[in-house]
Amino acid sequence: MNHIAKNTGITFVSQVMVLAGGIISSVILARALGPSGKGIYALLLLIPAVLTRLGTAGIEVSNIYYTSAKKYRTGDIISTSLISGVLLGFFIVLLFWYIARLDVVENFLWRNRIDHCLLWMVLIAIPFIFTYTFMNSIILGKENVATYNMLNVFQRFLQVAILLILVAWLGLKITGAVLSYSITMIISSFIAIAVLKKAEPIKFYFDKDIFRDSIHYGSKAYLGNIAQFLNYRLDILLISLFLNPAAIGYYSISVSLCEKLWMIPSSVSTVLFPRISSLDTHDATVLTTKVARNNLFLLTIISVVLAILARPVITILFGKAFLPSAKPLLILLPGIVALSISKILTSDMAGRGMPQYGTYASSASLVVNVSLNLYLIPRWGIEGAATASSVAYILATFIVVMAFKRISQTRLRSIFLISLNDLKSFKDMLRKIGKESA
């Protein structure tokens, strides 16, 4: 438990730093680009995000699992993942080059005012995104949590620095914003490789057994990861079909602020997955349920505060032009809090070698999400998209909770209701922080 607490603390501090960098980036972009420009930028970044998510084949999840389980030599996993990442990246770029020539894609790009030059500036980063994702997942599999988080923090503030130069100083606006993203991913991928190379020799050797097993294990979580990602981002794509870039800009701010709440469960899930793989069933259940109910307690408090302060926070950070983001934010909050539980329980089940339950939940919620978005966006606009997402997140959480309850043979109250011992732990922790501060 001390190991988990230490790594969670490191990850949480890193998440706070990433959060700070993300807010700075969002403020720079919102102030420089306005609602329409912010919407175009969000849609531009959505394209490589979708393509890379579709192309990973679950290898990043397999890297964590097989590295922590020590089934293969880490050096062989690194070499195979590096070659796989580069080849998959170039394949995805070539595939999109062909798809982009279709009339339906051309019309979509034109309708949303996406310039082809800007699009290819983003797409060139795809092989590097694959590389960074695969390399950093191996670092996490080694439970080198400090290095894993250091890379994520570095990546965020590198982008902030480049944004300040290209957008704030040189005034390149959306061109500078896109360039900052691609340059950041290219530099970050080389640094991740250098970090691993320092610890393990990279032979550029492709191990067919590792690749086969990675695809086999990763396929259990692959569809679920895609479905979950689409649950997070498909609403933006659907908004682009029914509304305009300004609406995407408003909604992207709502989503960005709400998803910052996930830094707590994300911090825990990051270290929980490899740790659960090394625990017996009873200890894993005790650890996960304690983490889940404490997470829910904290996020409920924070979400209430955010709901109260939503309008002034948006006005101060992004300007009055983005106040239409406030209502979708309030609608998203219940689903965001609910899904935080799902994130933790899904990590537990993946650590037990059963990532398929996350796939089931994500797939079911995706169907509901798409259906509700198609019905509600034309009628309620971005508030309809927020409603669809919130309902879908709650459904996914319900499915995951029921699956975890059956697998772990635990009670629902141990997942949701904070105990007196938990409150005492919070009190002791605050007292300790107070003494150290004094």
pLDDT tens column, 351-393: 777 878 888 898 999 999 999 999 999 999 999 999 999 999 9
Distances in Å between the alpha carbon of 36 and those of 50, 97, 112, 311? 21, 26, 10, 20
Task: Look at residue 425 and tell me whether its pLDDT is greater than 70.
Answer: no
- Which pLDDT does position 290 carry in this prediction? 86
Report, as an integer, the average pLDDT of 265-278.
67
Report, as an integer, the average pLDDT of 125-138.
95
**Rounded CA gap, 22 and 43, in Å?**
17
Higher model confidence: residue 379 or residue 68?
A: 379
Lowest mean pLDDT among 2-6, 97-101, 110-114, 149-153: 2-6
Percent over 70 (pLDDT), the chain: 92
Task: Look at residue 268 and tell me whether its pLDDT is greater than 80.
Answer: no
**Rounded CA gap, 67 and 115, in Å?**
41
Higher model confidence: residue 248 or residue 199?
A: 248
pLDDT tier, 180 (very low <50, low <70, confident <90, very high otherwise): very high
Here the tokens at position 418 are: 């904070």
Higher model confidence: residue 127 or residue 423?
A: 127
Report, as an integer, the average pLDDT of 314-327.
96
Distances in Å between the alpha carbon of 289 and those of 204, 283, 401, 409? 42, 10, 11, 11
Q: Is 143 helix (H, G, I), strand (E, B) or coil?
A: coil
pLDDT tier, 438 (very low <50, low <70, confident <90, very high otherwise): very low
Report, as an integer, the average pLDDT of 331-335.
97
Lowest mean pLDDT among 272-281, 331-340, 369-378: 272-281
pLDDT tier, 43 (very low <50, low <70, confident <90, very high otherwise): very high
Task: Look at residue 2 and tell me whether its pLDDT is greater than 60.
Answer: no
Higher model confidence: residue 40 or residue 69?
A: 40
Here the tokens at position 217 are: 């294990």
Higher model confidence: residue 430 or residue 387?
A: 387
Q: Is the dihedral of CA 356, 362, 363, 364 positive or negative?
A: positive
Contact 108, 63 (CB under 8 A): no
Higher model confidence: residue 180 or residue 276?
A: 180
Alpha-helical runs (H) found in 56-113: 59-69, 74-99, 103-111
Lowest mean pLDDT among 28-42, 91-105, 181-195: 91-105
Highest mean pLDDT among 70-79, 125-134, 223-232: 125-134
Percent over 90 (pLDDT), the chain: 57
pLDDT tier, 210 (very low <50, low <70, confident <90, very high otherwise): very high
- Which pLDDT does position 433 carry in this prediction? 45
